Amino acid sequence: MTGYSSAALCFVPDIATAFHRAYGEGDEETTRTLLAEFYLPFAELRDRVPGYAVALVKAGARLAGLAVGPTRPPLVDPTPEHVERLAEVVARGRAALAALERAAA
């Protein structure tokens, strides 16, 4: 049985499913591109503050239009600057995915 779990699925399901598909199919270009353009920048932002592994997923869900509440203590919500950076990371990941899809068409 193969599996894949990523909190990214909660707020960027398009990127998460494309990454899973690419990895499973051995599509190294897509895998590397999504790692470079979304996953690594997201991980860098996540690692800035303890608890951001939860807080950024909730912020990402809010950016996606989902009604989720605040992060519960002792964790903290991301700063406005970090939410803005998260939005940029998401946009960058989606732009990379769109470019890959255009190239494949």
Q: What is the pLDDT along the chain (105 residues), one digit of tens a residue?
A: 465 567 899 999 999 999 999 999 999 999 999 999 999 999 999 999 999 999 999 999 999 999 998 899 889 999 999 999 999 999 999 999 999 999 988
Q: Does residue 29 form part of some domain?
A: yes
Q: Does residue 96 form part of some domain?
A: yes
pLDDT on residue 34: 97
pLDDT on residue 19: 94
Q: Does residue 93 form part of some domain?
A: yes
Domains in the chain, number: 1
Q: What's the CA gap between 84 and 104, in Å, rounded?
A: 30
pLDDT on residue 105: 86
pLDDT on residue 1: 43
Q: Does residue 20 form part of some domain?
A: yes
Please indicate, yes or no, whether the overall pTM of this predicted structure exceeds 0.95: no
Q: Does residue 76 form part of some domain?
A: yes
Instruction: Return the HEC string of 35-69.
Output: HHHHHHHHHHHHCCCCCHHHHHHHHHHHHCCCCCC
Q: Does residue 24 form part of some domain?
A: yes
Domain housing 30: 11-104
Q: Does residue 1 form part of some domain?
A: no
Q: Does residue 17 form part of some domain?
A: yes
